[in-house]
Amino acid sequence: MKPVWIYLENGTFLEASSFGAETTLVGEIVFNTSMSGYQEIMSDPSYAGQFVTFTAPEIGNVGVNDEDMESKAAHAKGMIVRQYQDRYSNFRAEDSLANFLKKHNVMGISDIDTRYLTKMLRSEGAMMMVASTEIDDKEELKKVLETSPRIEEVNYIKEVSTKEAYVHKNGTYDAIGFKYNEAPEVQAKIVAIDFGVKRNILNELTQAGLEVEVVPNTFDADELITRVKNKEIDGVFLSNGPGDPLVLKEEQAQIKKLIAAKVPMFGICLGHQLLSISHGYDTYKLKFGHHGGNHPVKNIKSGMVEITAQNHNYNVPENITEIAEVTHTNLFDSTIEGLRYNDAPIFSVQHHPESSPGPKESRYIFGEFLSLLKQA
């Protein structure tokens, strides 16, 4: 392995080993507490612009395969691990993680104290960093970092959203993961706005009985409203995605039109945040965000605690209860995890009910979307 040098905006300078792309990249560093699913995490478009520090001590031992991709590419800037295992052992593996990262120009950083990094991020918050296999001078790396745009200044949605509309037809995988389950009979039709949607979200929507047409982030709200009125579609889904939702002014303007027309909608993660902003309640940035597959969320209606997958740095404000009912709360920090709006057929969740990777305790939410569409 070649050496790789890291400079964080708090002045921390580190040397580690490189097992991915050999380059120089700038991004935001966060930590993820999931113990499995590194390929799904790296191919999740919501991680665009970020370096992911894994708290799992060993990464790479199960290799990679095409079936576990959440999108067509790996979108994160890089992954940081304590120990990388190049020799993989899994009957589904098709290649090594290192080759996968090189193919997608993603950096792999190992032989570093990830416990130290995680504790630093927990205390000081997510921050910008630069990693390089080409530059070993601290001051030069500092200059690169200071002259590069921050993650909240970049609209990554333009990079990760589909460029052409398409219909998603696959349902969820069978229990072993060999093949797709047969999709049930279509009971409603929706348009899914792709801000960086994960494949398994689309799978769950289809498995719930929905025909899913996926369209780019440059959607026309007036066209969708007309299609709803003509009963060509029954509602709209707003997907997850990367970056700061406050910079997405064009998308907010279109969502406001959908809200005014009382179009039935369901949002996950970034979609949840955009619904809040479009109702007039701006999001705020969490200190280090929620990233992992083990976050307890309380379902207010049932009283049940669901273990959920999370991936977000931003959150909706508490005063949104002026116009919406809180349906779910995070038991780690009491932040809002779900909303149902008072005067419109609209609801949303901050966590990921498709949970790839993670537990499946919240997947019932996709069925609730179908119920909402039938009632609207």
Q: What is the pLDDT of residues 9-62, one digit of tens each?
A: 999 999 999 999 999 999 999 999 999 999 999 999 999 999 999 999 999 999
Q: Distance between CA 311 and CA 147 in Å, rounded?
A: 27
Q: Distance between CA 33 and CA 35 in Å, rounded?
A: 6
| 352 among known catalytic residues | yes
The secondary structure of residue 68, as a DSSP letter, is G
Which one of 168, 204, 269, 295 is the catalytic residue?
A: 269
Radius of gyration of the chain (CA): 20
The secondary structure of residue 88, as a DSSP letter, is -
Amino acid at 129: M
Which one of 290, 312, 328, 352 is the catalytic residue?
A: 352
Q: Distance between CA 104 and CA 44 in Å, rounded?
A: 13
Is residue 82 within 8 A of residue 55, CB to CB? The reply is no
Give the pairing type, strands 284-299 and 324-330.
Answer: antiparallel
Which one of 40, 70, 251, 354 is the catalytic residue?
A: 354
CATH of 2-153, one of 1.10.150.390, 3.30.1300.30, 3.50.30.20, 3.40.50.300: 3.50.30.20
Q: What is the pLDDT of residues 132-175, one digit of tens each?
A: 999 999 999 999 999 999 999 999 999 999 999 999 998 888 76
Instruction: Using pLDDT thresholds of 50, 70 and 90, give the confidence band for residue 371.
Output: very high
Q: Distance between CA 351 and CA 188 in Å, rounded?
A: 24
User: Which residue has tokens 């179908």?
Assistant: 370
Is residue 240 within 8 A of residue 189, CB to CB? The reply is no
Instruction: Using pLDDT thresholds of 50, 70 and 90, give the confidence band for residue 177.
Output: low
Q: Distance between CA 200 and CA 239 in Å, rounded?
A: 11
What pLDDT shows up at residue 174?
73
Domain boundary assignment for the chain:
2-153, 157-375
Instruction: Using pLDDT thresholds of 50, 70 and 90, give the confidence band for residue 77.
Output: very high
| 354 among known catalytic residues | yes
What pLDDT shows up at residue 180?
79
Q: What is the pLDDT of residues 272-312, one digit of tens each?
A: 999 999 999 999 999 999 999 999 999 999 999 999 999 99
**Both tokens assigned to 124:** 């000081």
Establish whether domains 2-153 and 157-375 are of one fold.
no
Entry pTM = 0.96
CATH of 157-375, one of 3.60.110.10, 3.30.70.120, 3.40.47.10, 3.40.50.880: 3.40.50.880
Q: Distance between CA 288 and CA 269 in Å, rounded?
A: 16
Instruction: Using pLDDT thresholds of 50, 70 and 90, give the confidence band for residue 207.
Output: very high
